[in-house]
Structure 1
Amino acid sequence: MSLTPEVLTADFKIAAVGLLVAGQWFPKHANKDHIPTGEYPLLLVTGGVLDKNPMPSYSSLSAAKSASQNLTDQFSQVLTSEHNILVGQPLVVQPIIPNQEGGWLTKLDPEVIVKEVFLPFLEARESIGVNVEGIKGWIRDRVW
């Protein structure tokens, strides 16, 4: 654990403080004109499982992700109840590692991630419509 306070502080500014600012900005300023009438806006916050499975080699990122995932949980409570904004957290559990010959060493091809992780959030949001009961069944975390 050779992590310095300066590195941890810098990473927190990016991951946790950046998310705080974005989550506070979103309900006031996000352009919702492209969302069909009756659908809920959606704030997606990417994450992983470093908060549950921290790695000493990624100690700063593990700590910052723990804080950002805690903020995501708080935003999902407040933004949904007070602003009718859904919060989703796609949790990608494997690293995205490019192969030197092209392609990817894991299942995490960015195009596949969009199709398998992000698109289901959009489809689920569309299926809720204005159904208040449907929003109670919203799944915030989706692990892939």
Structure 2
Amino acid sequence: MTQEQISFFENLYRKHYALMFEVALRIVKNPVKASDVVSDTFLILILKISTVMNHEDPVKWLFTVLKNNALGEYRKSKVRKEVSLDDAIIRGKEQELIPFSEMLPKGLTPEERDILILRLGEDLDYAEIAKRLHSTESACRMKFSRAKKRCAELMERDK
């Protein structure tokens, strides 16, 4: 690797490791596996470093690879058990999916709810959120960060 590639890698690693770990942990629900997923993602980055350096959005590429790795790990770890078709139909009728917006704690402002739903519920990037909210990407990042912190505080209080 060239010095430029090493610097590029180190910069991405320092800036994004913690958030990547949080994202992977949310998906695989196991800290050891989450760490492995992040490590595998950075290994892929090393293998494709010259391509990624020329990518229009290297951070988006990195998080896409992370998400795909984490989902693959999650699928591998799921335990499959056989269920009769009749049981599956009965259970399917009993289970109703709860919309993401209803899982958010009470006490969030409408703006906090909106940004959390757009980022986490609809999985939109900051550029798309900025367009929808008629704001800048950096403002959306800050609003999301504050909303996420407030959401965590409210959820902790409700425990």
Relative to total residues, which structure has the larger strand share, 1 or 2?
Answer: 1
Task: Specify if TM > 0.5.
Answer: no
Higher helix share: 2
Q: Taking CA–CA contacts closer than 8 Å with sequence separation of 6 or more, which of the two structures ends up with the larger relative contact order?
A: 1
What TM-score do the two structures reach when normalised by structure 2?
0.29
Structure with higher Rg: it is 2
